[in-house]
Structure 1
């Protein structure tokens, strides 16, 4: 296996690795008997509906009013769809993609309906409404530790491992909104606000790390008051009284967490520091936008999750934290993420927990997202973590202490509560790439407070260039463990340069040794160098191309 790296060199001549891509299939790390999906008790997709996009002439654009209802009705009649509803991936009241949900009678053959739809000239693509689920690790006896919490490392080992303490002297994520699109958030948790006057409640002018929709905050006090709920869509975003986010499972304005997963992720990102309670988040002055797209079992459909992504983008989230995934390869999810990135949103996702190639897992395999693998307290790769060339970085993901949503127990055995065996415990331990993902989201928030104009691609380069070594245990888990302080130190050298290989695509099939392979991409800066090495983490690199900046062209060739 060969790897390439592309370096854009700014002035002065400082070379920073900006991209790392595989040129052969990384599937060799996946046992052939493994299935793409796991947890067989959870179906792969919804049994009563499909998602499809209407085709359009090349280069043509449609207004929001098009296509006509007659067109959609005729399509529904041809394919025995009981009814249809349009999904808008874009701003309300503006032209968007012609994407629809088609509802079927129970017992329909979903793959067959999708195949028939895709054969229809009026349809661009069709797919099941895939299920996705939160990426915590199941607490099976030999899969994750259990029992009393007598660990030999710090309670917040993950926070120290990513080197946040020194970074906090420069930035704490003030003014940055991170959307946690998940099972919801316990927005009343004691560690998401600063009780400065110690009266046991949140008051005006006290720090509150939950996003409050300014367009629905009628008195502008930054709190959620009874008077804010007036039954109107005051900000015109298509959602009534969504002052603290939205619940796409229940279809209402209460994104409360009834599972626990979303609150745990939110705490890793933005639990309040120095408030005399519990823990501290990576970005303890960032705000969490609560978007509930997963249900009380930690499962949601592509339509619910895409709606959550669209909501977060339209309502000003800078970073989207997605700690969920599945084997279904959804065009709908990809369309929503592509739009988010096109609007300069940083999208961070969990690599998945099946010890597989993350290229088989969505949204971890969607180009442009920041995919995160999990590490153990000794900074070795977690045995459950997905791996492979689509992984960008690693972060703590085993025995991570964070918030417990009121009344929840993700593992259902009472063994993860902190304090232990306390039914009223407000803190909880969990494992998974779900926990690793929000560490990266938090550091991205630290960067963006200091440098609000950073592009989402610059955030990736900075985190990659500043990562510290981690024990990969023989598999590729990205550039290493993220490092908050180091990322702040290198940002000045990487924000104005960019290097990316666009062809061959990641996970290209193996090719004959007598064939020349051209590497096509971009290199922004004063000059670039393209190097190739052997293995997951090459000890030596050989230059196969160099030159001045290239907007889009051949960077070098491998014979």
Structure 2
């Protein structure tokens, strides 16, 4: 079944076309002025399926290109005198996809070569052996060889052969491409082509966001306007904190099996009552709100060689300039990273390439902490899901987002990120299924804020307006954090959260032609647009992948916000927002529109405006409340700057207490 996942959907496209029921694009009924075509549900679904196929194809190319470079590197090491066995073993140690490697001399039988790994490829051993023999033949003739991919599901492979420069030997191997399955599976969820969520880990209900009426989610288009929440949990904020006796009474009456607390906000879980009944129960307790515990899902001439320096030395090196015709030497940049030239990234680098003290929080599925293209770019993060300091990515989404922001530039490897020196603070709030609760997302935002993040990327969302999550957003915003969020991938005008909160900068997605991405949500809350179709970036296990989604558009804007704050650290978050809006290139209807906001981001213009503003801004002293009453006074974030914050987790309750008190008073 797993093996047929991608092809099932490709077949669906063909069936739709053959039956002649391919729907024509339809504009939203409430659109007051002309704009990009907003596709009907059937057209949207087929377009998304085509995009998944495109992303998988591009990921295949990225894998093959990087493997060719890895083979050339191994051969160069062997030719320099390093033992072949040690070279092959080291490569396999760091690259799990290298299933089998054979160093072979010309004219010598393949089985006589130096081997690392096993030819076994499940039920595909026969095909593997055939292609290995062909690869050996081509290498002996001095030719490079790559077989077609073969296998299905998680067991997809291809064979590669690369001759040495001397022509006397070569390298033949079997490469495991399970990344293609991972990308397929990930994009089916990320683009909402699978009813969400479908894993048994979550006992959830689906409801219409406005009415909370039950809703069956059987098809991708059903996700529009749909929110998902835990069946037997409720989030409650009391006007007056219950005392011990009252809390004990509540737990007894609802037969609570667990209780979590952040400040005045509680999450009750019970096996005997469903969420709607729980919300009804709490009406008698004079609460500010009792709401479902919602789930959130992922929504992607002087150059320095970072690979030759320590991470710290490379990151701190800010002197020097790059020429106007500079092109990064990252192996996949020129062919695959169409997105960076489109938004004038290289021209922006001539003005500013970032600063290590402007920290970027990535609140997501975690980040691959061992990825070679992110080494030296990551700060110690936090795993909210497991409650420890290991935010290792087990999905791929967060690693891809982090690569867009901060993959090492000009290091002769993989892809280039948008910033050279800004550090990424990884915070894992979504689990191995790519889903996470309001509680975990709120915790992650607060943790990132308390640990120095000046910009936070939120490539996740739901259609539910959660007071609990909004509190955490306001907390970060009031601490002068710039919050950037993806609008969502359902091609709907319904506002998604957290993107639609006024404190958050909302991002829509465009393609390589500066057209609206077919999946991108839209509406009057959109601030700007950024590239979000087939974006090449880092992926777990030393790999690279192409993903599509507003999740991939958002980190482009996050990186730009980091560059802007690196250029002028005195800019407040609201000023950063306004500067990015003002510098955007208008690509839709004149002025702000619902599809692109103020337009597609322009890196060089934004940095130029930040430079021009340096003399017009100055730091204000951090506010130090003298009492809890003073702390609870609502203050506009534009009048505040970030101040040193206490450590986690001892003061988390107090910090949540302060932000919730604002709403109680």
Do both share a fold (TM > 0.5)? yes
1:369 aligns with 2:504: yes
Do 1:247 and 1:292's aligned partners in 2 also have CA atoms closer than 8 Å?
Answer: yes
Label 1:67 to 1:374 Cα distance change in 2 as closer, same or farther (>3 A). same
Deviations 1:261-320 (A, max 9, x none): 000000000111111111111112111111001111211111111111111011111111
Determine the C-alpha separation between the residues in 2 that align with 1:472 and 1:295. Answer: 40
Structure 2 partner of 1:392: 527
Do 1:458 and 1:494's aligned partners in 2 also have CA atoms closer than 8 Å?
Answer: no
Determine the C-alpha separation between the residues in 2 that align with 1:76 and 1:39. Answer: 36
Determine the C-alpha separation between the residues in 2 that align with 1:405 and 1:33. Answer: 33
Structure 1 partner of 2:349: 168
Deviations 1:145-165 (A, max 9, x none): xxxxxx9x9411111112111
Determine the C-alpha separation between the residues in 2 that align with 1:272 and 1:358. Answer: 37
1:131 aligns with 2:250: no
Do 2:399 and 2:539's aligned partners in 1 also have CA atoms closer than 8 Å?
Answer: yes
| Alignment partner of 1:114 out of 271, 279, 302 | 279
1:105 aligns with 2:271: yes
Deviations 1:198-256 (A, max 9, x none): xxxxxxxxxx1001xxxxxxxxxxxxxxxxxxxxxxxxxxxxxxxx2111122222110
Structure 2 partner of 1:555: none
Label 1:484 to 1:334 Cα distance change in 2 as closer, same or farther (>3 A). same
Q: Map residues 188-337 of structure 1 onto 2, 5 A cutoff.
A: 188-193=370-375, 208-211=376-379, 244-337=380-473
Determine the C-alpha separation between the residues in 2 that align with 1:284 and 1:172. Answer: 5
Name the one with the larger helix percent.
2
1:485 aligns with 2:580: no
- Structure of higher RCO (CA pairs closer than 8 Å, 6+ residues apart): 1
Do 2:508 and 2:595's aligned partners in 1 also have CA atoms closer than 8 Å?
Answer: no
| Alignment partner of 1:177 out of 359, 362, 379 | 359
Structure 2 partner of 1:447: 564
Structure 1 partner of 2:548: 431
Do 1:267 and 1:281's aligned partners in 2 also have CA atoms closer than 8 Å?
Answer: yes
Do 1:177 and 1:288's aligned partners in 2 also have CA atoms closer than 8 Å?
Answer: yes
Structure 2 partner of 1:72: 247
Label 1:98 to 1:391 Cα distance change in 2 as closer, same or farther (>3 A). same
Do 1:133 and 1:325's aligned partners in 2 also have CA atoms closer than 8 Å?
Answer: yes
Do 2:429 and 2:440's aligned partners in 1 also have CA atoms closer than 8 Å?
Answer: yes
Determine the C-alpha separation between the residues in 1 that align with 2:463 and 2:587. Answer: 27
Do 2:525 and 2:594's aligned partners in 1 also have CA atoms closer than 8 Å?
Answer: no
Label 1:339 to 1:262 Cα distance change in 2 as closer, same or farther (>3 A). same
SS in structure 2 of the partner of residue 389 of structure 1: coil
Deviations 1:86-116 (A, max 9, x none): 12xxxxxxxxx4001111116x321221133
Do 1:27 and 1:357's aligned partners in 2 also have CA atoms closer than 8 Å?
Answer: no
Do 1:26 and 1:357's aligned partners in 2 also have CA atoms closer than 8 Å?
Answer: no
Determine the C-alpha separation between the residues in 2 that align with 1:292 and 1:133. Answer: 12
Deviations 1:409-444 (A, max 9, x none): xxxxxxxxxxxxxxxx62110000000000000000
Structure 2 partner of 1:204: none
Displacement of 1:469: 2.5
SS in structure 1 of the partner of residue 537 of structure 2: strand
Q: Which is worse superposed, 463-472 or 287-296? A: 463-472
Structure 2 partner of 1:94: none
Deviations 1:37-67 (A, max 9, x none): 98434241122321111114xxxxxxxxx65
The TM-score, its normalising length taken from structure 1, stands at: 0.63
Determine the C-alpha separation between the residues in 2 that align with 1:128 and 1:442. Answer: 33
Name the one with the larger strand percent.
1
Deviations 1:449-489 (A, max 9, x none): 11111111001100000001224799532111111110122
SS in structure 1 of the partner of residue 386 of structure 2: coil
Displacement of 1:494: 6.3
Determine the C-alpha separation between the residues in 2 that align with 1:451 and 1:353. Answer: 33
Label 1:26 to 1:294 Cα distance change in 2 as closer, same or farther (>3 A). farther
Determine the C-alpha separation between the residues in 2 that align with 1:124 and 1:76. Answer: 19
Larger Rg: 2
Q: Which is worse superposed, 439-448 or 172-181? A: 172-181
Label 1:111 to 1:405 Cα distance change in 2 as closer, same or farther (>3 A). same
Label 1:76 to 1:472 Cα distance change in 2 as closer, same or farther (>3 A). farther
Do 1:358 and 1:364's aligned partners in 2 also have CA atoms closer than 8 Å?
Answer: no
Deviations 1:311-336 (A, max 9, x none): 10111111110001112221111110
Determine the C-alpha separation between the residues in 2 that align with 1:41 and 1:371. Answer: 22
Structure 2 partner of 1:460: 577
Label 1:335 to 1:450 Cα distance change in 2 as closer, same or farther (>3 A). same
Determine the C-alpha separation between the residues in 1 that align with 2:377 and 2:604. Answer: 22
1:348 aligns with 2:484: yes
SS in structure 1 of the partner of residue 490 of structure 2: coil
Do 1:177 and 1:316's aligned partners in 2 also have CA atoms closer than 8 Å?
Answer: yes
Label 1:448 to 1:98 Cα distance change in 2 as closer, same or farther (>3 A). same
Displacement of 1:492: 5.5
Structure 1 partner of 2:327: none
Q: Which is worse superposed, 379-388 or 251-260? A: 251-260
Determine the C-alpha separation between the residues in 1 that align with 2:230 and 2:337. Answer: 38
Determine the C-alpha separation between the residues in 2 that align with 1:27 and 1:245. Answer: 45
SS in structure 1 of the partner of residue 256 of structure 2: coil
Label 1:39 to 1:127 Cα distance change in 2 as closer, same or farther (>3 A). farther
Determine the C-alpha separation between the residues in 1 that align with 2:238 and 2:294. Answer: 19
SS in structure 2 of the partner of residue 53 of structure 1: strand
Aligned length: 376
SS in structure 2 of the partner of residue 82 of structure 1: strand
Determine the C-alpha separation between the residues in 2 that align with 1:180 and 1:48. Answer: 29
Deviations 1:109-159 (A, max 9, x none): 212211331x124321111111110016xxxxxxxxxxxxxx9x9411111
